[in-house]
Structure 1
Amino acid sequence: MATFVLVPGAWLGAWAWEDTAQALRERGHPALPVTLTGLGERSALATPEVGLDTHIDDITAFVVEQDLRDVTLVAHSYASVPVTAAAGRLGTRLERLVYLDSAPFAEGMCLLDVMPEDVVNQLHQQVAEYGDGWQLPLPPVELLGTLSSLEGLDEGRLDLMRTRATPQPFRTFAQRLNRPGELAPDVDHVVVACHDAQALLDAGMPELAFLSQSPWRRFHLPTGHWPMLSTPVELAETLDTVVSSGH
């Protein structure tokens, strides 16, 4: 049994994890989805000041205030940035760190650093035109990624994303990671790669080579970038395998 803390990516709240969390509970695991400040049911808390540090504090406080132990912390997409820092604050509470179609960030990096320049420019334009200069609405589908990253999202699931997504405080994308901290030495390091991440890892990108080496363990989930929506039960099965297979 593992205690899962599930952190969603940009524009999403805890709602996105509902089906996966239920499937994990049916397998005997406590599963606790998180909604970060300014998103989902906490959208009323969004302000221009909400940034990466806010979300790092959210994740840390969620674990500490509930006195959670033996935590498997799962970071989807954007959440990899605040989770990288929060994980270093959790000490012995953290048993396992899982990057879901994402990867850890180095000190001094921000999410915009890993995006092509033309995409960054388009996002800035959307923030200026539709987000009052500080919020990023969910972009049109064609800007969300490749066709392979959207695999498994039928029109119903895409409509669910469009309907329930909330604008992302843009400072969370632009603020740089500061002093992420060190993990406890026995923390299990895991990557669950969907199609696009798997392709990058298989291509042998030098920047990602460490994810194919010890202490990292790698699992493949054959779906697009939003597996909690496209294949929620299969995601739960993969996470169950991750914890049952040990370090």
Structure 2
Amino acid sequence: MATYVLIPGMCHGGWTYEPITAQLRQQGHRAYPLTLTGLAERSHLLNTAVNLETHIQDVVGLLEAEEIEDAVLVGHSYGGMVITGAADRVPERVDSLVYLDAVVPSAGDSMWSLVSDRERQWYLDVAETGYAVRPLPFFDPRATGHPLASLLQSIRLTGNIAARRRDYVYAASWDGQSPFTGFYERLRADARWQTHALDSKHNIMRDAPDGLLAILLADR
């Protein structure tokens, strides 16, 4: 039995993993879809203080509270920042990392530094509060504003990540150029990583659930 902690991307909540969560549990695994502070059903907590460190602590807090010591941390898109930070903070609680069409940061990186000018333009389209990035029009109706500070803050890493396994799952059917191609191409040449390409748009959980499930369950 494996324990999966599922981290959504920008503007989304734990609900984005609903189909995958149900199937993992049906097969006897533990699955924790986590909504980060300030998003979805926790959007009432959004303020100027919510940043990347807040979201990393969301994951660390869950691992500690549930006494999880063998976590498979799964991060979609922005969630790659979060699972990287959490694995660095509590390496003794993390077995493996799965990046779903996600950023893979090094120390000092931020979402702002890792994305294209097109993505940065989106980040600057903030709501009336001045600190929440608006969901894009084609997002799920449940999507909410995302804390801008979490995209601007650089990640602090100590180099303690000791995950047994690291997977990168690339969505190969973007409309136009994918901002994640560079990560995928770089990691394909790294023997420490297992890389996978699925015929899917960015929302892999929705568009390629069967292929994703097979990857999550392999050798676990």
Higher relative contact order (Cα pairs below 8 Å, separated by 6+ residues): 1
Deviation, structure 1 residue 214: 1.4
Amino acid at match of 2:196: F
Aligned ranges 1:43-58 → 2 under 5 Å: 43-58=43-58
Amino acid at match of 1:212: A
What are the ranges of 5 or more consecutive residues in structure 2 without an aligned counterpart? none
Segments of 4+ moved more than 3 angstroms: 205-208
Distance in 2 between residues matched to 1:76 and 1:40, nearest whole Å:
16
Which SS does the other structure have where 1:83 is aligned? helix
Give identity over the alignment, percent. Answer: 30
Instruction: Indicate which of 183, 186, 192 corresponds to 1:215.
Output: 192
1:93-125 C-alpha deviation (Å, 9 max, x unpaired)? 21111111124201111112222224413431x
Larger helix percent: 1
Task: Identify if the C-alpha distance between structure 1 residues 112 and 2 changes in structure 2 by more than 3 Å, giving closer, same or farther.
Answer: same
Task: Identify if the C-alpha distance between structure 1 residues 33 and 108 changes in structure 2 by more than 3 Å, giving closer, same or farther.
Answer: same
Residue number in structure 1 paired with 2:129: 132
Q: TM-score, normalised by structure 1?
A: 0.80
Distance in 1 between residues matched to 2:5 and 2:111, nearest whole Å:
21
Distance in 1 between residues matched to 2:44 and 2:108, nearest whole Å:
29
Task: Identify if the C-alpha distance between structure 1 residues 48 and 206 changes in structure 2 by more than 3 Å, giving closer, same or farther.
Answer: closer
Aligned ranges 1:69-80 → 2 under 5 Å: 69-80=69-80
What are the ranges of 5 or more consecutive residues in structure 1 without an aligned counterpart? 142-157
Which SS does the other structure have where 1:57 is aligned? helix
Residue number in structure 2 paired with 1:151: none
1:44-83 C-alpha deviation (Å, 9 max, x unpaired)? 1110110011001111111111101211110110011121
Task: Identify if the C-alpha distance between structure 1 residues 181 and 123 changes in structure 2 by more than 3 Å, giving closer, same or farther.
Answer: same
State yes or no: 1:194 paired with 2:194. Answer: no
Distance in 1 between residues matched to 2:34 and 2:113, nearest whole Å:
25
Aligned ranges 1:1-247 → 2 under 5 Å: 1-124=1-124, 126-127=125-126, 130-141=127-138, 161=140, 163-184=141-162, 187-195=164-172, 205=182, 208-241=185-218, 243-244=219-220
